[in-house]
Amino acid sequence: MTDVNMRDLVYRLYARRVRGRLDHAQVPKHIGLILDGNRRWARASGGTTAQGHRAGAEKIEEFLGWCAETDVEVVTLWMLSTDNFDRPESELVPLLGIIEDSVRALAADGRWRVHHVGALDILPDNTRTTLKEAEAATSDNTGILVNVAVGYGGRQEIADAVRSLLHDAARKGTSFEELAEAVDIDLISEHLYTRGQPDPDLVIRTSGEQRLSGFMLWQSAHSEYYFCEVFWPAFRKVDFLRAMRDYAARHRRYGG
């Protein structure tokens, strides 16, 4: 047996051991994922930025398969932030194409329900159309609900929720005084991109960065966080299982 085969065998045995210790009663129902490190992975591998983004996109289906094995119900994938639109066009245009390919692949898989979260109006026509078509094509699927966060920013989401709330009030003829009395946490939640969904129980960020960068600011108030040193394209099943094990070992305390 070669060294490579031996390492592969040891890895599989270790992953099986970690999975065997998971308590399925403690599995998060909603996982938020910040897919970070594509560019740094590409540099470390001697590849191009586009190759890094492509490798990151190819990892998504694998990750969703792991989630399905452990009974996760909702996954939110942060694929493109509002801040990413400041990147050079030479990087942004290929990245948008990769995202469109990835969304089409998710829809073609036949298992997932795709839902876009983000500001549609800032996206190019092709990207907007791809997201809408994927949502329509997968609306009757019964598998994991996959929130594709493209053109997403946490502060932008809250601003959009308030704007939507005000538009609704105007249509109904609600006075400012009545609206001021009615506004509460639940009302704002009803106007978020993820309205009707459970808040994320666990937020995973790859690449070693230990910050949220505005990801699901409203919804993650009581989330547990897991920061992984591995760049996203190199994220392995054992890394996922470690995150799940770490989550299961914690005692969640809401509000203190």
Task: Based on the residue annotation, tell me whether 36 is a catalytic residue of this protein.
Answer: yes
Task: Based on the residue annotation, tell me whether 126 is a catalytic residue of this protein.
Answer: no
Instruction: Judge contact between 37 and 206, C-beta under 8 A.
Output: yes
- Please name which of 134, 157, 156, 160 lies closest in space to residue 145, comparing C-alpha atoms: 134
Give the helix/strand (H/E) hosting 244: helix 237-249
Burial class (CB in 10 A: 0-12, 13-18, 19+), 38: buried
Instruction: Judge contact between 155 and 73, C-beta under 8 A.
Output: no
Catalytic pick among 84, 101, 141, 160: 84
Catalytic pick among 8, 36, 38, 71: 36
In the block, residue with structure tokens 């929720």: 161
- Please name which of 86, 33, 7 lies closest in space to residue 223, comparing C-alpha atoms: 33
Would residue 121 be called left, alpha or beta, if left means φ above 0 and alpha means ψ between -120 and 50 degrees? alpha
Task: Give the 3-state secondary structure of residue 146.
Answer: strand
Alpha helices in 110-153 (DSSP H): 125-138
Phi, psi of 227, rounded to the nearest 5 degrees: -105, 125
Give the catalytic positions in this structure.
Answer: 36, 84
